């Protein structure tokens, strides 16, 4: 029970119920990237645009609470940031989920740290970030 309590923290449930940046972006310069996690059935389409004010981001998707909350937390974290910062957050988050030191300040994203102890859910939590990496690569950003 303790582990579930740790993972389904209020912040995660809150993002699942009221996702941030939810919806498609349209217009010039928008890159859309689909991601799928077949092991759980999670689906995600991420929309990204890199402008003078930093990244604009939106997403639509269906899936478990972890995947959708992770997408919402990610969108909140990268909105308005430059693309290089978003790539660094992605690398740091994926280290966190592997149980390693993130090496960057992850802020609210730390709410998902407990996923590292549940290998079956790792793909759910990482799906939005893998999708982000692909979208950033298409925008020409160097993703590690
Ligand atoms: Zn899932």
Nearest CA to 62 among 139, 143, 124? 124
CA of 102 to the centre of ligand 1 (A): 22
Query: Residue 40 is encoded by which pair of tokens?
Result: 């759980």
Query: Residue 18 is encoded by which pair of tokens?
Result: 């009221």
CA of 8 to the centre of ligand 1 (A): 13
Q: What is the pLDDT of residues 108-133, one digit of tens each?
A: 999 999 899 999 999 999 999 999 99
DSSP reduced 3-state for 107: helix
Query: Residue 91 is encoded by which pair of tokens?
Result: 């690398």
CA of 72 to the centre of ligand 1 (A): 14
The whole-number pLDDT of residue 9 equals: 79
Neighbours of ion ligand 1 (CB under 5 A): 40, 42, 63-64, 67, 124
CA of 105 to the centre of ligand 1 (A): 25
The whole-number pLDDT of residue 1 equals: 43
Q: What is the pLDDT along the chain (144 residues), one digit of tens a residue?
A: 455 555 557 889 999 999 999 999 999 999 999 999 999 999 999 999 998 899 999 999 999 999 999 999 999 999 999 999 999 999 999 999 999 999 999 999 999 998 999 999 999 999 999 999 999 999 887 765
Domains observed in the chain: 3-22+32-138 (3.90.1010.10)
Strand (E) or helix (H) holding 141? none
CA of 51 to the centre of ligand 1 (A): 31
């Amino acid at each position: 029970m303790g582990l579930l309590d740790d993972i389904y923290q209020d912040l995660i449930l809150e993002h699942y119920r009221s996702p941030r940046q939810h919806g498609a972006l349209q217009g010039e310069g928008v890159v859309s990237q689909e991601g799928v996690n077949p092991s759980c059935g999670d689906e995600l389409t991420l929309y990204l645009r890199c402008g003078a004010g930093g990244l604009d981001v939106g997403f639509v998707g269906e899936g478990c609470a972890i995947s959708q909350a992770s997408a919402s937390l990610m969108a909140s974290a990268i909105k308005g940031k430059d693309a290089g910062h978003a790539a660094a957050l992605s690398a740091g988050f994926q280290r966190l989920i592997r149980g390693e030191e993130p090496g960057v300040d992850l802020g609210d994203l730390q709410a998902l740290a407990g996923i590292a102890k549940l290998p079956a859910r790792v793909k759910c939590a990482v799906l939005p970030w893998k999708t982000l990496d692909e979208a950033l690569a298409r925008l020409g950003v160097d993703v590690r």
